[in-house]
Structure formats: C-alpha cells, structure tokens
C-alpha cells in the first residue's frame, strides 16, 4: 500500500522518510515548482521561510531536547541541519538553501519515496493520507479541510528581512554573541544609545504598513511567536528593548558599556554573505522598511535581498479533531502534520511529521498507534495537539512548561532543566524499545 503525503515541507518530508524507513511506500505530493505560495521561492523541499535558526542546540534546553529526541527516533531533518549548519552561538542555524537542497536530495535518493509534482485540490477518500500542506495551504485544499474539520482558525504570520554583509557599515557594528557564547563572530550587533533608540522607535511605530489581503483582513490574528516588530513596539516604548533589541550579555567594545538597545544580525549562509535581522518580522511597506531599518546603526546603506513580508497562516482547532497520534478522529485513515496542527516552529512541525509518518505506517500494518511519553518533548507537544484546549487553542512551541515537573522539585533552573532532559531521554529509550521503533530502512 502506498501512503499519500500531501506537502513536501518539513513535516511532509519527515513523514515520508519515516514511512520509507519502515519499508513502506510513500507518495510525496508537492505543488512546487508549478505553483508557489506567496512566501515560498525555492523549488526544493523543506524550504525555511521566517528564519534560518532551528533554535537552541543544548540538550538541556527545550528546543535542543526536541532535536535530540528526533535524532534518536531516526529523523531525516536533524542530520541534514547538522551538515548544513552556520555559526550561531548556542543555536543551530543552517544555510537555508543548502539545507533544502540536501533534504531534497535525500528524498529523491530514497527508493521508497515517490515524488509527485502536482497541486492537491481534494482530500483523498481511499487509502491512508497525511496532510502536511502547511500554514499556507492553497485556497482550494484549505476550503476542503475547513469543511471537513468544521472550521479552521486563521491568523497572520510574518518574516524578517535579509541584508547583504558587504553593504553593512562595520565601523558601527561589532561581532559578538551574548555572554561570549560561540566563537564571537556568530552575530553582528548594531548598538543604539538612548537618543538613537528613541528616534528609531518613533519612526517604527508611525511607519506605514502593507495592506492585508484575503478573508481575514477584518479581524487578523497575529501569533505571538512571529509578531511583527512594529506591532510589538506599539505595546510600549520599552517592549522591544526588553525583547528582540535587548542588550543583555553584550558590551560595545568602543565604549566598554552595555548599549541602550541592540539589533542583532545573524548569518544566513555559511559564507557569511547574508544576514537576517533577528526578531524583525514585519509587515511594513518595503520603502518604509528601507527607511526605518536604515536608521539602525550600520544599516544606513544596507542592501535588502528580501524584505519582510506578512502572509496568511492557518492551523486547525486540533483538540476538536485530532488525537495525539495526529490521526483524525472522524476519519481514521487521515492524518495531519506540521504547523497546521498547532505546533509552532520548524522542528516542532517536523516532529509532528515524524510521528504522523510512523503512525500512518503502523495503521497500514494493523499495528497499534503510539505517542511518546508526556515526559518527552515530542510526546508533550503531541498531547498539546489533543488536549491544548478547544475554546482558545493557540500554537505551541517546545518548552518545559508543557512537560510534567520532576519530583522532588529542583530549585536551580539549570539543574532542573538538565534533570527534565535526562528523564526525557531515559523514557524515550524505553519507549523506542517497547514499541519496536524502526529508524533504519528495511530494504
């Protein structure tokens, strides 16, 4: 039996890989390159949109723990990320073009994955299907999903701009990671004094925004994790100074003091020719982005290779329709995976695809479906999808708050997080053994 996987994003690629690793056959259906969403540009699979960072790498961090769990569960994407990484301090950031190319190469090389270039406009009735078409699902398919699930929740998502390294004024910028992590060249920092910050803040909150389009214009919802910087700034004069522009852990070598505010730039590629503005997701008009962001020290003559954009994002009211196995309750032969299930973040989306792929294969083999223990980050996120609350269900990224606390309570946060991570990996090892989890191809 061939299992259909709709969408070759992070979740879809991971789902197809898991099916193949078990010896199953996956039909991976992707509408690119014939058709693109407003945010996608790269014809390859697993394209990264908002940022090139996959968040923290330390296993004692929530994001790092998730990636380590996925690695041990036979993930495709984690090894690809490690092979295409770029320096980013304590984070795992990748060259997004190389990452996408490598994932696509691995998918095409797998004899159990059959790539089909076509737009899917109907939900298949026969066989087993995983819908991983993403938060920018094409309108026709989105309408079918909306009808099937009794209504989807829509909100808007935003991406940060990217500038060329050679266009930056390095006389006004210093290289350093917070608290000296990394090799000191992972981030470029644009320091502001109080007067510079106040001028920039005033320009930012009064800048013109691009008009929104589509059915959600009258009441757009913006998810907190991808909030446009201008929207965040309107919450108060110091909101962004304690957010993306926080200066903690940094000292300007020219003054020897901590700046009033700092805009950080992070490498987009291994060669360091491109940088993105960290935390600067935006919906300002392109001309306004050039004008306002040009007020940031060092960016007066910045060349933008991509301006920030804001686009529609869609996710399901998952607790009403999905189980923690990512199986639809009313249609057991249908699974959902990715950000549209309400998991927020690149690796979080990929982890849902990993579970959906494993469980779709298990269903095809008449095996019981499984969810990792709630003491693992993967399992905690899966349970959020089923039990996260129907009345006001919101996307959730990896964090220790959704996991059971360790007992007895450990007061020191670093030690507490380390204990949670160790418990997770121990419980995952037991789970993988008890479920005969397959991480290698049986061909």
**Confidence (pTM):** 0.80
Sheet holding 334-336, edge to edge: 113-117, 25-30, 2-6, 129-131, 334-336
The reported pLDDT for the residue numbered 269 is 75
d(Cα 431, Cα 155) in Å, to the nearest integer?
A: 36
The reported pLDDT for the residue numbered 362 is 98
Are 44 and 104 in contact, with CB atoms under 8 Å apart? yes
With 90 as the cut, is the pLDDT of residue 262 above it?
A: yes
Bridge partners of 257, per DSSP, are 252
- Interval 135-178: pLDDT, tens: 888 889 989 999 998 876 667 677 889 999 989 999 999 999 88
Mean pLDDT of 323-351: 96
* Cα of 23 vs its chain's centroid, Å: 28
Q: Print burial letters for 96-119: b (CB count within 10 Å at least 16), e (below 16).
A: bbbbbbbbbebbeebebbbbeeee
Mean pLDDT of 36-45: 84
Bridge partners of 208, per DSSP, are none
With 70 as the cut, is the pLDDT of residue 351 above it?
A: yes
Lowest mean pLDDT among 121-130, 250-259, 308-317, 337-346: 308-317
More reliable by pLDDT, 313 or 131: 131
With 60 as the cut, is the pLDDT of residue 219 above it?
A: no
The reported pLDDT for the residue numbered 84 is 97
With 50 as the cut, is the pLDDT of residue 442 above it?
A: no
- Interval 47-78: pLDDT, tens: 998 789 999 999 999 999 999 999 999 999 99
pLDDT confidence band for 441 (50 / 70 / 90): very low
With 90 as the cut, is the pLDDT of residue 260 above it?
A: yes
* Cα of 392 vs its chain's centroid, Å: 21
From residue 129, give the alpha-carbon distance in Å to each of 1, 201, 208: 11, 48, 43
The reported pLDDT for the residue numbered 390 is 56
Q: Parallel, antiparallel, or unpaired: how do β-strands 129-131 and 334-336 relate?
A: parallel
Length of the chain: 443
d(Cα 187, Cα 53) in Å, to the nearest integer?
A: 12
Mean pLDDT of the chain: 91
Sheet holding 91-94, edge to edge: 53-56, 91-94, 85-86
Are 213 and 202 in contact, with CB atoms under 8 Å apart? no
Q: HSE of 256 in the Cβ direction (CA atoms, 13 Å)?
A: 0
d(Cα 430, Cα 191) in Å, to the nearest integer?
A: 49
The reported pLDDT for the residue numbered 310 is 80
The reported pLDDT for the residue numbered 185 is 67
d(Cα 217, Cα 312) in Å, to the nearest integer?
A: 10
The reported pLDDT for the residue numbered 139 is 85
Are 13 and 103 in contact, with CB atoms under 8 Å apart? yes
With 50 as the cut, is the pLDDT of residue 443 above it?
A: no
CB atoms within 10 A of CB 312: 23
- Interval 368-406: pLDDT, tens: 999 999 999 999 999 999 998 656 787 888 999 899 999
Are 115 and 7 in contact, with CB atoms under 8 Å apart? no
More reliable by pLDDT, 390 or 104: 104
Residue for token digits 């695809």?
Answer: 353
d(Cα 145, Cα 392) in Å, to the nearest integer?
A: 19
Domains and CATH numbers, the chain: 2-154+313-434 (3.50.50.60), 162-308 (2.40.30)
Bridge partners of 175, per DSSP, are 188
DSSP one-letter string for 88-121: -TTEEEE-HHHHHHHHHHHHHH-TTEEEEE----
With 70 as the cut, is the pLDDT of residue 243 above it?
A: yes
- Interval 410-433: pLDDT, tens: 999 899 999 999 999 999 999 999
SS3 129: strand
The reported pLDDT for the residue numbered 67 is 98
Q: What's the token pair of residue 7? A: 């969408």
The reported pLDDT for the residue numbered 214 is 46
Are 397 and 345 in contact, with CB atoms under 8 Å apart? yes
Q: How many helices (H) and strands (E) does the chain have?
A: 12, 16
Mean pLDDT of 221-235: 81
């Amino acid at each position: 039996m061939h299992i259909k996987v709709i969408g070759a994003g992070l979740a879809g690629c991971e789902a197809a890989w898991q099916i193949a690793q078990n010896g199953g056959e996956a039909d991976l259906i992707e509408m690119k390159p014939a058709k693109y969403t407003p945010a996608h540009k790269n014809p390859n699979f697993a394209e990264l949109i908002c940022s090139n960072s996959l968040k923290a790498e330390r296993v004692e961090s929530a994001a790092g723990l998730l990636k380590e769990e996925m690695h041990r569960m036979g993930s495709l994407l984690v090894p690809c990320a490690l092979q295409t990484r770029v320096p980013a301090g304590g984070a795992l950031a990748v060259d997004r073009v190389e990452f996408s190319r490598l994932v696509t190469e691995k998918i095409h090389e797998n004899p159990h994955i059959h790539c089909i270039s076509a737009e899917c406009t109907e939900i298949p009735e026969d066989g087993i299907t995983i819908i991983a078409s993403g938060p920018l699902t094409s309108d026709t398919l989105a309408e079918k999903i909306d009808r099937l699930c009794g209504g989807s929740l829509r909100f808007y998502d935003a991406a940060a701009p990217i500038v060329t390294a050679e266009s930056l004024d390095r006389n006004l910028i210093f290289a350093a990671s917070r608290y000296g992590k990394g090799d000191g060249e992972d981030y470029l920092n644009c320091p502001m004094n109080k007067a510079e910050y106040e001028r920039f803040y005033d320009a930012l909150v009064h800048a013109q925004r691009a008009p929104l389009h589509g059915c959600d214009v009258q009441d757009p919802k913006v998810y907190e994790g991808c909030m446009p910087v201008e929207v965040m700034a309107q919450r108060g004069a110091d909101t962004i100074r304690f957010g993306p522009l926080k200066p903690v852990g940094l000292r300007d070598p020219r003054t020897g003091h901590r700046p009033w505010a700092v805009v950080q730039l992070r490498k987009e590629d291994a060669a360091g020719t491109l940088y993105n503005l960290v935390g600067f997701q935006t919906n300002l008009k392109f001309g306004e982005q050039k004008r306002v962001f040009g007020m940031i020290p060092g960016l007066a003559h910045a060349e933008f290779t991509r301006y920030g954009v804001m686009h529609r994002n869609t996710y399901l009211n998952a607790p009403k329709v999905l189980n923690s196995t990512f199986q639809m309750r009313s249609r057991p032969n249908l699974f959902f995976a990715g950000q549209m299930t309400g998991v927020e973040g690149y690796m979080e989306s990929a982890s849902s695809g990993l579970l959906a792929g494993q469980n779709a294969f298990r269903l095809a083999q008449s095996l019981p479906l499984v969810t990792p223990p709630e003491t693992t980050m993967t399992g905690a996120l899966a349970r959020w999808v089923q039990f996260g609350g129907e009345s006001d269900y919101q996307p959730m990224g990896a964090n220790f708050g959704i996991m059971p606390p360790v007992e007895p309570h450990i007061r020191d946060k670093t030690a507490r997080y380390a204990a949670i991570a160790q418990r997770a990996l121990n419980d995952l090892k037991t789970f993988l053994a008890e479920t005969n989890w397959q991480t290698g191809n049986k061909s």
